[in-house]
Structure 1
Amino acid sequence: MLDKYRLYDAEDFLQDDWFRQSLEGNNPAATQYWDNWLKVYPEKEAEVLRAKALFEAFKTDHGSLTQEEINTTIDRTLERVAGIKRESEFPERPLFAWRWLSYVASVMLISGMAIYFVKDNKIGTKITTVKTQPPAMGWVKEENVGQHPRLVKLPEGSKVTLEPGAILTYPTNFNKYERRTFLRGNAFFDVAKDPDKPFFVVGETVITRVLGTSFWIRDDPDHQKIAVIVKSGKVAVSARHGSGQNLTSDAVFLTPNQMAVFSPETEQLTRELVEKPVVISTSASLSASYEDVPIIRILKELEDAYGVKITYDAEVLKNCQISASFANETFFEKLESICLSVRASFREENGQIIIDSKGCNY
């Protein structure tokens, strides 16, 4: 099964509380976990080291900064170093050491500048807040006043389909660090991939960050439920606190067939599966018919085809075999049929499926 951390880049690691605890050095369990994790996934060393560099660079004197200012400075630092070339593999250690020192030095300089502007120039409020509407000068405002969806093409190639009543605002020219837009209402985003320039959608209650992907942002008529629904790629979503426009430490990371739902009443953001998950992997081998096949194999095929994590006790289910045929059943209908055949049950929790079973030794 896919470990979510395998999808993380340096920015994601830095925003993960469990990872940051290992860097702060006050949680031995977290430190041990990440040491062991890197042994299993050594290919992620480059991103982990980038995250550590950013963290160490930021550990200058900032005792008088508020937590919001700290989070904002991290965001700004990440945006400024986005253009630095990411290396997925490193040559021999001596050469790596020189590159590493050079990289840390450049990041520390950038981070120091960011902290200076927040702390010494006393403009933390300016950095961490935005007006309800972006300034009129240098911005484009697109509003769908019609009765049908309207397609808007952004300068860098992204496409946004605005539903009736939706308003999208974006700069005439994106800066070299990011692509930031503002949305009111419902829309579908098909974002052009650009690893060096993350794409932000700042809504009235949630903030969404992607590199290149497609997703919906939906707000029900009564504003009782706001959802970000992923079609492809990876998306990070956090609640918008006050007038802030950056992701916070409680961000939720989503993959296809998942959505983040924000409740204004409870001010809670939760990860859920979409109502009708669709097949996202054309290479996955999902059969239409099974004859005396181990249930574990079928569950693995479902997991691969739909990209939905399915958790179960392999030891309990190891003796379970079933025969089944599927035609046009939905993901959940298939799961229900499989579970009924072995007297098991399933539930959805935090965007994944958990199967409960007593096994087939009866």
Structure 2
Amino acid sequence: MRIAIDGMGGDHAPFEIVKGCVEASKKIEHDIYIIGREDEIQNELDKYTYRKEQIKVVHASDVITMEDAPVKAVRTKTDSSLVRGLNMVKNGEADLLISAGNSGAIMAGGLFILGRIPGIDRPAIATTYPILGKGMSLMVDSGANAECKPTNLLEFATMGSIYMERVFGIQKPKVGLVNIGTEESKGTTVLKGAHELLAKSRLNFIGNVEARQVPNGVCDVIVCDGFVGNVILKLTEGLAWSILQLIKKKFTQGLRSKIGALLLSNKLKEMKQEFDYSEYGGAPILGVKGVLLKIHGSSNANAVKNAIIKGIPYVENRVIEVIQDSVLELEEITQSE
């Protein structure tokens, strides 16, 4: 397998990207291609001991920054690390691409260069959502589509279910539709229409779920439009950080608290790790004709390493092909309306 990495994308590129690639190379046998300015990447690689035949540098002279307008950047910066990586996937020179770069450009590039899977109207970002003590759920969409049609939400549910089955090994994942109440009659016209379509599908649809149920692991696939998904993710991230900071503050006030913190230090580290996005790998862009993973812009080496390792079953288990095969069933459901 050939794994391509955008070596210039993200807040800590290229040093954290390169370090993560080196760490991943010690755990896998696959080839890793780091794309970007060759001199900068090679200078970072020279700091480590690694197998020269396993990690290779692909030169790209340009960089798409976080400030660039996504569509314009993809169309004009043709020798950027991101565009070069996308073309490698399109041309069969790489089996997957991972980037911590500009989210809008990654989505735009996926659409313009890789294209949509035939029959899928809108690709979506699928993000892992940590469930304390229970592993994780998958949220689809988490930011790509602010407004959706009922058929789009059906697509998101289907693609998310396939990903959970194929990549995480969860059989018949439970699918929940985020709404303001659990009753079928609740929500907007779009949500009512989506509920009707999902109920007709072969998915393990459990009905509407409220936002307060999501952190409890009520379902394996959390279905919503990108606006709602992004709000849920950012609220959860901010709340988790605030709680951890409050716990840290309380445990450093006075001698008794410090002793208690020392006794509970291992459990506190475990809890912090469960909130840590870097442990869960990348967020797949589901619906494009190529394996494309987005990782957090502030990703460290651990996040890069895990994205590489956990991106492998995405390719090996033929997720894209299975999604393609499911399109016919989706058409049957929507046409019956």
Name the structure with the higher helix share: 2
Would the TM-score normalized by the shorter structure come out above 0.5? Answer: no
By relative contact order (CA 8 Å, sep 6+), the higher-ranking structure is 2
Name the structure with the higher strand share: 1
